[in-house]
Amino acid sequence: MTATLLWVSSSHSDNGGACIEWAPEHAAATGEVLVRDSKNPAGPHLHLTPQAFTDLVTLAKHTRI
pLDDT tens over the chain, length 65 residues = 545 899 998 766 565 666 889 999 999 999 999 999 988 989 999 999 999 999 988 998 888 76
Helix or strand run (H / E) with residue 20: strand 20-22
Q: How many helices (H) and strands (E) does the chain have?
A: 2, 4
Burial category of 10 from C-beta neighbours within 10 Å (exposed 0-12, middle 13-18, buried 19 and up)? middle
Parallel/antiparallel/unpaired status of strands 33-37 and 46-48: antiparallel
The predicted pLDDT at position 48 comes to 97
The predicted pLDDT at position 4 comes to 86
